[in-house]
Amino acid sequence: MDTASNNYNNDKKNEGSVPSNRNVSLRCCSSRRWGGIRWGKSKRNKVVTADTFQSQEVGEAESLFSVSDHGSVQCIDDRSKKERRISRKGIRQYMSRYFPMLSESEEAVICRIENESSRAEDIIKAMRLHSNSALIQGRGCAILTTIAKDRSNHGSIASEDGISVILEAMRTHGDTVEVQGQACSALGNLAAFENNTKLSVASNGGIELIVRAMKMYPDHPGTQERACGALFNLASLKPNRVKITKAGGISAVVKAMQMHPDDASIQHHACCALWSLAGDVKNSVHIASEAGIPAIVKGMETHQYHPKLQHSASGLLRTLAINSDNKFHIASAGGVPALIDAMEMHPGSSHVQKEACGALRNLVFHPSICHHVRNHRPHKALEAAADRFPIECGDSANSVLDRI
């Protein structure tokens, strides 16, 4: 019997007398030299206990279980001061004795974190400990998505550095579409309110990872929808809009619209993302250069009965129509009749009426476009909007009527 096995068997004999909180100092060793496990940017021995192990920095479990074939782990019991070198084969057996949470199966972990009493802290710890499990990472992100719908939970997620854990899941499991989609959804919900969170996601490479997910899985509707939703929330800040554009986000969003024309939810979330991005003048031009305007109009024509899409698309066209060149792009793509149809199809929606009236007002500021709008006879729709929603639509509707 080899030394490692013998040591392990000796430990097993005394297992009942070992307190659950006994400290164990851990460090990796190789055939050439001894070296500490990596903890952040430093290399040193680390003392942990069964109670504190889960809350340590990311990487400890992975470091222990990723020892090379010719290496081992040295464990020093702080009571007996005995050193034990454990081979790669015996690592999990030894560690499961001190830290039983490491020996859980994927199914057991998922069952535990799906429990209604589970807190964000428990979910994030589980994701840290099982960072190599795509199944646990995907399910963990999905649960965090649900938890993050409640703004009061954002603090607990942030205190456990949940954003970093989600982003690490995206980096580690780029080949798993479920992880990518659920992570985008979680980030989107977390970035829905606080500006600090939006900046945190961006500063840690979140925008690039979201856009990468869109490019890697263009055929997956769930990932496209969730990614567009995340970009919409992140793009409310100007620094983030710059990063999204630089990462190729505008192109990715327009492509999502082009590849999923029959999916109203993708069309809506994509229009929301582009609407937020179009707040920058350069982005407004960029959207047009990526053939975004025809995609927007096609979405409106395909999903005439979808009020949320008609609202977001009309608002986006309203913003884009501020640019002179974009006025012609919108007119040539059929944007004018699409806006009038939106007003006629949703007469009771103040949101649709407001944005459509605003878009037509911006378009008629150009003489040639004014003639084009007049030919489509929007008079009744404009008069009805001004009469029903005088505060939201009165000024813009009357402005269009005066010009045509």
163: its two tokens = 């954003």
Nearest to 289 by CA among 278, 276, 300: 278
**Residues 245/286, Cβ–Cβ less than 8 Å:** yes
Give the Cα separation of 346 and 353 in Å (integer).
Answer: 8
Partner residues linked to 38 by β-bridges:
43
Summarize pLDDT for 193-207 with one digit per residue, the tens. Answer: 999 999 999 999 999
Task: For each of the domains in the chain, give its residue range(s) and CATH number, in order of start.
Answer: 3-103 (no CATH), 295-404 (1.25.10.10)
Please state, as a whole number, how many other Cβ atoms lie within 10 Å of the Cβ of residue 371: 11
Strands 72-77 and 38-39: unpaired
Give the Cα separation of 269 and 232 in Å (integer).
Answer: 7
Summarize pLDDT for 123-136 with one digit per residue, the tens. Answer: 998 898 888 899 99
Per-residue pLDDT of the chain (404 residues; tens, 9 = 90+): 444 344 434 444 433 333 333 344 444 333 322 233 332 333 344 433 333 443 333 334 434 444 333 344 444 444 444 545 545 445 555 555 545 555 567 788 888 788 766 688 889 988 988 888 999 999 999 999 999 999 999 999 998 999 999 999 999 999 999 999 999 999 999 999 999 999 999 999 999 999 999 999 999 999 999 999 999 999 999 999 999 999 999 999 999 999 999 999 999 999 999 999 999 999 999 999 999 999 999 999 999 999 999 999 999 999 999 999 999 999 999 999 999 999 999 999 999 999 999 999 999 998 888 888 999 999 999 999 999 999 999 999 999 999 98
Q: What is the pLDDT of residue 117?
A: 62
Give the Cα separation of 205 and 15 in Å (integer).
Answer: 45
Q: What is the pLDDT of residue 10?
A: 44
